[in-house]
Amino acid sequence: MVRIGIIGGSGIYDPAKFETVKKVYPETRYGRPSDDIIIGKIAGTEVAFLPRHGKEHQFPPHSVPYRANIQAMKDLGVEMIISPCAVGSLKEEYRPGDLVIVDQFIDFTKNREYTFFDKKTVHISIADPFCNDLAKVFSEIAEKMNIRYHKKGTYICIEGPRFSTKAESNMFRNFADIIGMTAVPECQLAREMGMCYCSLATVTDYDVWKDEPVDIQMVLKTMRECLSKITRLLELGLPKIPEKRTCGCSDAAKDAGV
């Protein structure tokens, strides 16, 4: 059984730092996950790593098998998920290359499978959707690394796979700090399963509100440049994660009878 899962976003596909033990590709009641789940160790800490979009980036944001991914992690014994991802900035002070430890989201998606509970009514509490304890661990590591980071940030999740129009981008600036395409429903599905969830978001661009067109090559270029920083953050942070959870993230699952 593996306690910690990593679901990687754009550019976080290099397992070179992993001490790989095995790969699994499990069948779940929601189908198979995006790709093989690599089980191994980072800095001596056992983790299960899954490329969210698949190794060939074959799943665009709106069609990622989110339920299968979270269910597969749950079946492996995962209790907490770390999500390195790429985001655009909606605020001047959130600069390209900055790390954002997300604390809130706004859901602007349109057509996804948002819950495991299709056959009974379950209302989970998700006022604070991201795990405060995990956020504290990685905030302290980022501080020690002396890198530019933000302890908090509101993430607006859009459907994709297209980027925003200028009008949309300027509207979103009134409500959020960063913008992406994958936090929802991944984060809330993890909460339904009683799992902790931490989003380590790397700012790759200023969306389109600064009149600079955004494309996937820009995103991947910045992520490649920041990959060593994210990898080091994981190497230093994973061993600091407490063995016993006291955060309360599992309470939603108890209420749901999971």
Q: What is the pLDDT of residues 115-149, one digit of tens each?
A: 999 988 888 889 999 999 999 999 999 999 999 99
Is 98 tagged catalytic? Answer: no
**Candidate ranges 104-108, 217-221, 252-256; pick with highest mean pLDDT:** 104-108
Query: What's the pLDDT at 70?
Result: 98
Can you give the residue range of the structural domain that contains 28?
4-242
In a domain, 75, yes or no: yes
Whose structure tokens read 């509490």?
A: 125
In a domain, 195, yes or no: yes
In a domain, 111, yes or no: yes
In a domain, 258, yes or no: no
Query: What's the pLDDT at 131?
Result: 97
In a domain, 254, yes or no: no
Number of H helices, E strands in the chain: 6, 11
Distance CA 168, CA 25 (A): 38
Among 19-23, 102-106, 170-174, the minimum mean pLDDT is found in 19-23
Q: Provide the angle, in degrees to the nearest 10, between the axes of the packed helices 132-145 and 216-237.
A: 100
Per the residue annotation, which of 107, 133, 207, 211 is the catalytic one?
207
The pair phi, psi for residue 171, each rounded to 5°, is -65, -45
In a domain, 201, yes or no: yes
Q: Three-class SS of residue 255?
A: helix
Is 103 tagged catalytic? Answer: no
Q: What is the pLDDT of residues 49-79, one digit of tens each?
A: 999 999 888 999 999 999 999 999 999 999 9
Q: What CATH number does the domain containing 140 carry?
A: 3.40.50.1580
Query: What's the pLDDT at 183?
Result: 97
Distance CA 202, CA 72 (A): 26
pLDDT band at 224 (very low <50, low <70, confident <90, very high): confident
Query: What's the pLDDT at 255?
Result: 66
In a domain, 153, yes or no: yes
Per the residue annotation, which of 205, 211, 215, 255 is the catalytic one?
205
In a domain, 198, yes or no: yes
Mean pLDDT, rounded, of the chain: 91
Report how many domains make up the chain: 1
- 10 Å Cβ neighbour count for 135? 21
